[in-house]
Amino acid sequence: MSQSPYGQGYGQQAYGPNQYDANQYGAGQYDSGQYGAQPAQNPYEAPVQQYQPYAQPSPYGTAQVAPPHPQATMIMVLGILSVVGFSITGPFAWYMGSKALKEVDADNRVHAERGSIVAGKVMGIIGSVLLVFVVIYLIFVFGIMFWSLSQGY
């Protein structure tokens, strides 16, 4: 029989009897007897480690987060409305924002809605300034209108 230059022919064993064990490569891991039995640990898998999905707690303690202020959203909405065109809501947002900030600052806990309260108060101040300008403009326009009517123009 002639030797092939590319190795053994089909169906011939190259190195003698079978030297591999079936369980060595995981072939016997599912023949444990009953269905639903846990398979044997795969030796090629990395060990499963339990990771915590969140950061570890600070060694200095954590801040106590207070619930949001009940009027924070309303102050923000009034402030936005005062800047957009309903300037009459500006003084209300300014007053309610100042009052809510005093309540938040009196509490030692961190409030999640403090930024919304400050933003609503600032927009309320801007809306109040716009309201003052509108009132001054209307007084000027009506003053000129009444003056021109009294002069007979």
Q: Please state the three-class secondary structure of the chain as a single string.
A: CCCCCCCCCCCCCCCCCCCCCHHHHCCCCCCCCCCCCCCCCCCCCCCCCCCCCCCCCCCCCCCCEECCCCCHHHHHHHHHHHHHCCHHHHHHHHHHHHHHHHHHHHCCCEECCHHHHHHHHHHHHHHHHHHHHHHHHHHHHHHHHHHHHHHCC
Cα(95)–Cα(75) distance, integer angstroms: 9
pLDDT for the residue 109: 72
Mean pLDDT of the 62-90 span: 86
Mean pLDDT of the 111-140 span: 92
The per-residue pLDDT for range 78-92, each reduced to its tens digit, is: 999 999 988 899 999
Q: What angle do CA 63, 68, 74 make, to 5 degrees?
A: 150
| Whether pLDDT at 126 is above 60 | yes
Residue 7: pLDDT band with limits 50, 70, 90: low
Mean pLDDT of the 69-84 span: 92
Annotated domain spans of the chain: 70-151
The per-residue pLDDT for range 22-51, each reduced to its tens digit, is: 555 555 555 555 555 555 666 676 666 665
